[in-house]
Amino acid sequence: MSKTLVSNNIRRLRFEHDEMTQKKLAEIVGVTRQTIVAIEKAKYAPSLELAFLIARAFNKPLEEVFIFEGEEANAQNPP
Amino acid sequence: MPYQQKSNYISLFTTIIIFGIYYYFIFQLYHEGRFEGAEANALIGKSILWLIAGGVVINIVAHILFSIIFAIITNDPKPSFLVDERDKLFELKALRVAYYIIGFGFVASMVALAMGQSVFMTINIVLFFTAIAGIIEIIMQIYFYHRGF
């Protein structure tokens, strides 16, 4: 199953925030639980707005929540 | 399963029912020879207006009933009818496919017209492809929800 180039630490951050449920996070950021599931599994790359909302829900900067995997690949294999 | 995902099954059911009823009556009228003669074009127009009006009413009633049943089944005093960005993305992807099918249907109808087919046949080719596009659009959305992205 294809994955996006954007991975994330949402699962760990949920655990660190009193084991916040996917449903609770979905309610905070205003999406369905299925969308949080898809983002967490890196099957769906959220919009910039939703990414910021998720980061704000954890009081973390965006780059601590989401990681662009393409960046690492580029660093390992420079053009 | 969220509301939006379940409502696709209702839309699929209503689309098939609406066009099924339409084609049932149209074929009856066709075999009676009602689409020949001076009144034919007016009858085609009336049939399509009935299809649109009936379609709107059936869709509204089905979705209202479904919303009530959804609220009862989920046993949630505040059931979520939320449509988020992923739902909208699925809609747009499916709509693009439907647009191509309708476009193809329009070209096919023009070919039929150019080959000397009747206005009745031409319009029904467009409607047939519209029905197929509607069904494929919903099936694609169901597929996207099952795939998850």
How long, in residues, is chain B? 149
CB contact under 8 A, B2 and A34: yes
Q: Which residue of A has its CA nearest to B3?
A: A32
CB contact under 8 A, B85 and A30: no
Residue A42 or residue B79, greater confidence: A42
CB contact under 8 A, A31 and B145: no
Question: At residue B110, does pLDDT exceed 70?
Answer: yes
pTM of the model: 0.81
Residue B31 or residue B80, greater confidence: B31
Query: CA B114, CA B109: separation in Å to the nearest integer?
Result: 9
Please, what is the angle between helix B119-147 and helix B85-114, to 10°?
A: 160
Lowest mean per-residue pLDDT among A35-39, A59-63, B50-54, B71-75: B71-75
Compute how many other C-beta atoms are within 10 angstroms of the C-beta atom of residue B107: 12
What is the per-residue pLDDT for A72?
A: 57
Report whether A8 contacts A67 (CB < 8 A).
yes
Query: CA separation (Å) from A26 to A5, A10, A66, B20?
Result: 22, 12, 16, 39
Q: Which residue of A has its CA nearest to B146?
A: A34
- In this predicted complex, what is the ipTM? 0.79
B28 in A contact zone (CB under 8 Å)? no
Residue A8: helix, strand or coil by DSSP? strand
Question: At residue A63, does pLDDT exceed 80?
Answer: yes
What is the per-residue pLDDT for A71?
A: 56
CB contact under 8 A, B149 and A37: no
Average pLDDT over residues B95-103: 97
CB contacts of A50 in chain B (<8 Å) are 85
CB contact under 8 A, A41 and B5: no
CATH of domain A6-76: 1.10.260.40
Query: CA A27, CA A34: separation in Å to the nearest integer?
Result: 12
What residue ranges do the domains of chain B occupy?
Answer: 3-147
